[in-house]
Amino acid sequence: MTGGFFITGTDTGVGKTWATVALMRHLQSLGSSVLGMKPVAVGCSLNDGQWQNDDALLLQENGSLAVDYTCINPYALKAPVSPHIAAAEMGCTVQLEEILRNFYHLRSLVDIVLVEGAGGWFAPINDRQDIADLAAVLELPVILVVAIRLGCINHAKLSYQAILASGQPCAGWIAVCSEQHMLAREQNIATIRRALDVPLLGILPYTHYPDFNFLSKHLQILP
């Protein structure tokens, strides 16, 4: 087991956070201490004078130990737009060095850190760099989260090819059944399975509410 994974997705809203929390619970059930990190988050709200994001709060809540919010989410950006635009609107620039500094601190505290990206693989985080650059400096194997819905085969193949082209190791992919009544769900999953040369780490079933213990039982990652 490496010291962590970088969780990316085929798009925004595909289930990265739910899959990350399920993965945290799964790894914790195997005896590892785990923290989640969401270095760059958009669409934050002001809580007691601090910009905070729901994903980051959920990751913080599910960590094996209590850590400062700012360490989990050093860039909490207000506008619900692409990170490079949201940061510019707040007069700040996302710096990889700052993210790395916080990541190394989290890494020193636990066995495994799961880092959730923002949007998809090529989402820009500043004028020069995107999520792929962030994953590269963190030097973590990538897990691709795929929402099983119409168009997912194309999105999964595109994202997978992009990850490989970036030179990052891909540890596997997770299918998220976030549509209750998806036609030909199994055939879609089987097609992606054939197209991606990495293990399918789990098929997360549709759930009406986020039951992360239930979801975690559908993951297969060896310690």
Ligand X SMILES: Nc1ncnc2c1ncn2[C@@H]1O[C@H](COP(=O)(O)OP(=O)(O)OP(=O)(O)O)[C@@H](O)[C@H]1O
Which residues ranging from 80 to 119 are in contact with ligand X (CB under 6 A)?
A: 119
Distance CA 212, CA 138 (A): 26
Which residues ranging from 46 to 85 are in contact with ligand X (CB under 6 A)?
A: 55
Place of tokens 């759930």: 207
CA separation (Å) from 148 to 25, 80, 122, 206? 22, 24, 20, 10
Which residues ranging from 18 to 37 are in contact with ligand X (CB under 6 A)?
A: 18
Q: Binder to ligand X among 4, 5, 6, 14 (CB under 6 A)?
A: 14
| Residue 50 phi, psi (nearest 5) | -120, 130
Query: Is residue 202 at the binding interface for ligand X, with CB under 6 A as the rule?
Result: no
Which sequence positions are flagged as catalytic? 38
Can you count the helices (H) and strands (E) in the chain?
A: 9, 10
Letters for 45-74 (x = contact with Mg ion by CB under 5 A, - = none) are ----------x-------------------
Sole window of 69-77, 136-144, 158-166, 170-178 interacting with ligand X (rule: CB under 6 A): 170-178
Which residues ranging from 3 to 42 are in contact with Mg ion (CB under 5 A)?
A: 16-17
Closest approach of Cβ 161 to ligand X, in Å?
Answer: 20
Q: Binder to ligand X among 1, 2, 13, 186 (CB under 6 A)?
A: 13
Q: Between helices 96-109 and 131-138, what is the axis angle to 10°?
A: 40
- Binding partner of 13, given ligand X, Mg ion, none, CB within 5-8 angstroms per partner class: ligand X
Residue 47 in tokens: 């809580």
Rounded to a whole number, what is the distance in angstroms from the first to the last CA of the chain? Answer: 6
Question: Is 84 strand, coil or helix?
Answer: helix
Give the count of residues interacting with Mg ion (CB under 5 A).
3
Phi/psi-derived region of residue 218, left when phi > 0, alpha when psi is between -120 and 50, beta in every other case: alpha
Give the count of residues interacting with ligand X (CB under 6 A).
17
Between strands 50-52 and 45-47, the pairing is: antiparallel
Residue 104 in tokens: 């190394």
CA separation (Å) from 116 to 9, 44, 82, 152, 182? 9, 16, 15, 20, 26
Residue 181 in tokens: 């009544």
Sole window of 83-91, 132-140, 172-180, 184-192 interacting with ligand X (rule: CB under 6 A): 172-180
16 or 107, CB closer to Mg ion? 16
16 or 155, CB closer to Mg ion? 16
Interface residues toward ligand X, by CB under 6 A:
9, 12-18, 55, 119, 176-178, 204, 206-207, 215
Interface residues toward Mg ion, by CB under 5 A:
16-17, 55
